[in-house]
């Protein structure tokens, strides 16, 4: 089975891009059978990831030590979402680094023919810009905690806080979504509530200008509470959920513990933004269910300072986070 000339040209272009950019790997996303021997010959020397919805297409490929097969859920999804799922899985399984450059070749043009081209499109993807755009499929793990548009807006807000900080300084915070009454009953205000007195429209996180205001509020101590309808209800909250039975990975600070605890004692979802790394970890039912890296966080140069040699600094934990 020979490859169509169009597929040959795309494979050649992918190989050349890997060498000239350089790129870290090639992702081949396919829905049809393909001449794998020819693919291997043309992409010799390239790190290759293959993803397909149909396991029968990739069953024999696992025997090739130079290729990595990524299994996708067998459900009909747009090409972009399947590509997102494949890349996200590769990163979470430590098969790819978050800042990698990937050359993706795939079938991206809808056709009514019974036998579409194996591949007809090529994209160069920088994961630092790509993986932050969480898809509806990624957010399904959160069930009906809140409508998808609300969850997507909160993800955007959390990742932007993690990536940008505020006024050139990194900040960390917690965003809690849903079950507002119970969350409030378990918590107390550390300061005034900055949302008090504003209309619902002025507190809707689905609006970009509202998210920009919340970024400013996130500099204050305490968590931000958002209703499942997307309306910001409170800020400067000290979360009072108990940590009994909550297990988080060693090295995380009290911010992550507070987020996990409140998600365990309520039906809310908590987004913990790490001040030290900018990463976002999503907790539900006391468990971490999503991990989002900011990936494009800029380096901020700090003034040179001499350490006081007489007083050894306290060792920060892995996350560098403080009490929320």
CA 9 to CA 3: how far, in whole Å? 10
Task: Quick: pLDDT tens for 46-92.
Answer: 999 998 777 777 777 777 777 899 887 666 667 877 887 788 778 76
State what percent of residues in the chain have pLDDT above 90.
33
CA 283 to CA 151: how far, in whole Å? 13
Give the highest mean pLDDT range of 121-135, 201-215, 289-303.
201-215
pLDDT, the chain, mean: 80
Own/partner pairs, 119-122, CB within 8 angstroms, 24+ separation: 119/6, 119/7, 119/10, 119/11, 119/28, 119/30, 119/34, 120/6, 120/7, 120/10, 121/10, 122/10, 122/13, 122/14
Residue at token pair 């931000």: 224
- Over residues 278-302, mean pLDDT: 71
Residue 315 has pLDDT above 70, yes or no: no
Task: Quick: pLDDT tens for 137-192.
Answer: 566 667 777 888 888 889 888 988 888 877 778 889 999 999 999 999 999 998 88
> Which pLDDT value is given to residue 247?
74
Helices 148-164 and 208-217 pack at an angle, to 10 degrees, of 50
User: How far from chain centre, in Å, is Cα 47?
Assistant: 23
Task: Quick: pLDDT tens for 206-264.
Answer: 998 999 999 999 888 899 999 999 999 999 999 987 767 777 776 678 889 999 999 99
Comparing 124 with 118, which gets the higher pLDDT? 124
- Over residues 16-41, mean pLDDT: 89
Could you tell me the CA-to-CA distances from 299 to 2, 112, 162, 165, 170 in Å, in that order? Answer: 48, 48, 13, 11, 10
CA 197 to CA 203: how far, in whole Å? 10
Burial (Cβ within 10 Å: 0-12, 13-18, ≥19) of residue 276: middle
- Phi, psi at residue 82, to the nearest 5°? -65, -35
> Which pLDDT value is given to residue 131?
55
> Which pLDDT value is given to residue 313?
39
Pair of tokens at residue 222: 């305490």
Q: How many helical (H) and strand (E) elements, i.e. helices and strands, does the chain have?
A: 10, 12
- Over residues 287-297, mean pLDDT: 71
User: Is residue 22 reached through a cis peptide bond, with omega within 30 degrees of 0 on the bond before it?
Assistant: yes
């Amino acid at each position: 089975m020979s490859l169509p000339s169009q597929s040959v040209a795309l494979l050649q272009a992918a190989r050349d891009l890997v060498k000239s950019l350089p790129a870290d790997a090639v992702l081949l996303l396919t829905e049809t059978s393909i001449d794998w021997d020819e693919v291997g010959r043309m992409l010799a020397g390239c790190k290759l990831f293959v993803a397909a919805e149909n396991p029968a297409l990739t069953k024999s490929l696992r025997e090739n030590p130079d290729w990595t097969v990524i299994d996708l859920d067998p459900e009909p999804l747009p090409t972009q979402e399947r590509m997102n799922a494949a890349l996200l899985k590769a990163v979470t399984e430590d098969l790819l680094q978050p800042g990698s450059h990937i050359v993706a070749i795939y079938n991206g043009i809808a056709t009514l023919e019974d036998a579409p081209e194996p591949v007809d499109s090529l994209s160069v993807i920088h994961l630092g810009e790509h993986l932050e755009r969480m898809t509806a499929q990624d957010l399904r793990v959160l069930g009906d905690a809140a409508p998808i548009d609300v969850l997507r807006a909160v993800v955007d807000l959390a990742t932007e806080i993690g990536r940008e900080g505020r006024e050139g300084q990194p900040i960390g915070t917690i965003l809690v979504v849903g079950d507002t009454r119970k969350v409030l009953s378990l918590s107390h205000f550390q300061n005034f509530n900055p949302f008090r007195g504003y209309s619902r429209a002025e507190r809707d996180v689905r609006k970009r200008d509202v998210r920009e205001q919340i970024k400013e509020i996130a500099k204050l101590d305490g968590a931000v509470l958002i209703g499942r309808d997307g309306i910001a209800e409170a800020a400067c909250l000290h979360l009072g959920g108990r940590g009994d039975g909550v297990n988080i990975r060693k090295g995380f600070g009290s911010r992550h513990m507070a987020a996990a605890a409140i998600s365990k004692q309520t039906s809310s979802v908590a987004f913990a933004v790490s001040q030290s790394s900018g990463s976002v970890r999503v907790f539900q039912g006391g468990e971490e269910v999503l991990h989002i890296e900011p990936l494009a966080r800029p380096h901020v140069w700090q003034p040179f300072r001499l350490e006081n040699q007489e007083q050894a600094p306290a060792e920060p934990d892995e996350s560098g986070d403080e009490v929320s």
